[in-house]
A and B are shown apart, each in its own frame.
Chain A
Amino acid sequence: MISFGKDIESSLVSLYKSKKIALEGNLLKVVKTQDKDFQDYLDEAKTKDQDTRRKRLEVTKQVQSQNKDLIDSQAEKEKLMLELKRALSESEKLREVALDDLETLQKKTQFELIGLIVKVALGAVGAVCIFTTVLYLYVLSKGLDSKIIESTWSNMFGIILTNCFSIIGTIMGVKHITDSKDSRK
């Protein structure tokens, strides 16, 4: 415990009365006096100090709580961002799968169409071949004039063979281009 002299005590009291400046903090808890005026001053200063501390404590607690909320919301935000990134990458993968599926479907449709065209063409060619051959055989078996049908038959076979190779070449070409595109992807 400490005590001030009379002069200091009266100076402190008059300073408080004129400027409202008083001692603060734990110092107030160790000062002792016999003087009634200075004791009143100490009591008032202690009350003032406690009020200030109480207010500061309240504000500090508020700031502390706001900080905690801020940290929590930051953590929540980061968690959401991670989930968003994961969802985005998943949707990206799904998109790629869907695009692949679409491409496969398109190719399948194209191949089916090509297959149909080839079948129809081969059918028509085959039918003409068979018809001409049957007609030629009939003419030969009956001993009729076969000059026209003979040249027609040989010409037709030449044309058909040429066209067949042309069709096979076109199909091979298309297949080669498609394969090159796939490998470039």
Chain B
Amino acid sequence: MIDSILLVDDEDLFHLVFEDSCSLLDITLSLQSLTSSDEADKLFKKWFQEGPLEEKPDCVFVDLNIIGSSFDGIELIRKINFEYGNGVVIGIISSSDDKQEIEKAKAVGAQFWIIKSDEIEPRLEAFRKDYDGYKNKTASFKVYK
């Protein structure tokens, strides 16, 4: 089980879907959901500059296009990985499967790409199985279709 997860997605309904799916699949006990990348950026800045670092989540799921934010999910991943220290398992959760975007995400250190659809549970289940590999940095980048 993943200790704590942070979801950054502008769609409130998806927060509910993700929370219920995670609970039913016993993926995590602690889930925090944010609707903008600016909020996530502020939190990471706070954790990184003021601490305690233990408060930061173990795994971060970021939407690709976060409406109402100053920057997209790929930029948020770049900031988290290169500005605030690479200490979390991080990847994209999006309905897009654009190859160029996937390559961009890989380049900034995303470890996975989960494609959102009506049936998100099997993908989360598969992700949970691979999670330890992502945590130990032994698993390579994967797209969950």
Q: Give the B-binding residues of A (Cβ under 8 A).
A: 25-26, 29-30, 50, 53-54, 56-57, 60-61, 63-65, 67
Q: A26-B29, A29-B29, A30-B29 are in contact. Are A64 and B17 (CB under 8 A)?
A: yes
Q: How far is the CB of A74 from chain B (nearest CB, A)?
A: 15
B20 touches A53 (CB 8 A): yes
Q: Which residues of B contact A54 (CB under 8 A)?
A: 20, 24
Q: Give the A-binding residues of B (Cβ under 8 A).
A: 11, 13-14, 16-17, 20-21, 23-24, 26, 29-30, 118
Mostly, the A contact residues are helix
Q: How far is the CB of A57 from chain B (nearest CB, A)?
A: 4
B118 touches A60 (CB 8 A): no
Q: How far is the CB of A28 from chain B (nearest CB, A)?
A: 10
- What is the chain A residue whose CB lies nearest that of B30? A26
Which residue of A25, A26, A60 is within 8 Å of B13 (Cβ)? A60
Sample of 15 further A-B pairs with CB below 8 A, known A57-B21, A64-B13, A64-B14: A25-B23, A26-B23, A26-B29, A26-B30, A29-B26, A30-B29, A50-B24, A53-B23, A54-B24, A57-B16, A57-B17, A61-B118, A64-B11, A64-B118, A67-B13
Which residue of B11, B20, B26, B29 is within 8 Å of A57 (Cβ)? B20
Mostly, the B contact residues are helix
Q: How far is the CA of A29 from the CA of B20 in the complex (A)?
A: 14
Between A and B, 7 residue pairs with Cβ closer than 8 Å are A53-B23, A54-B20, A54-B24, A57-B21, A60-B16, A64-B14, A67-B13
- What is the chain B residue whose CB lies nearest that of A56? B20
Q: Which residues of A contact B29 (CB under 8 A)?
A: 26, 29-30
Q: Which 7 A-B pairs have the closest CB atoms?
A: A57-B20, A60-B16, A53-B20, A26-B29, A64-B13, A60-B17, A53-B23
Q: How far is the CA of A159 from the CA of B38 in the complex (A)?
A: 97
- What is the chain A residue whose CB lies nearest that of B118? A61
Q: How far is the CA of A67 from the CA of B111 in the complex (A)?
A: 30
Q: Which residues of A contact B24 (CB under 8 A)?
A: 50, 53-54, 57
Q: Which residues of A contact B13 (CB under 8 A)?
A: 60, 63-64, 67
Q: Which residues of B contact A65 (CB under 8 A)?
A: 118
Q: How far is the CA of A61 from the CA of B13 in the complex (A)?
A: 8
Q: Which residues of B contact A67 (CB under 8 A)?
A: 13
Q: How far is the CA of A64 from the CA of B24 in the complex (A)?
A: 19
Q: How far is the CB of A29 from chain B (nearest CB, A)?
A: 6
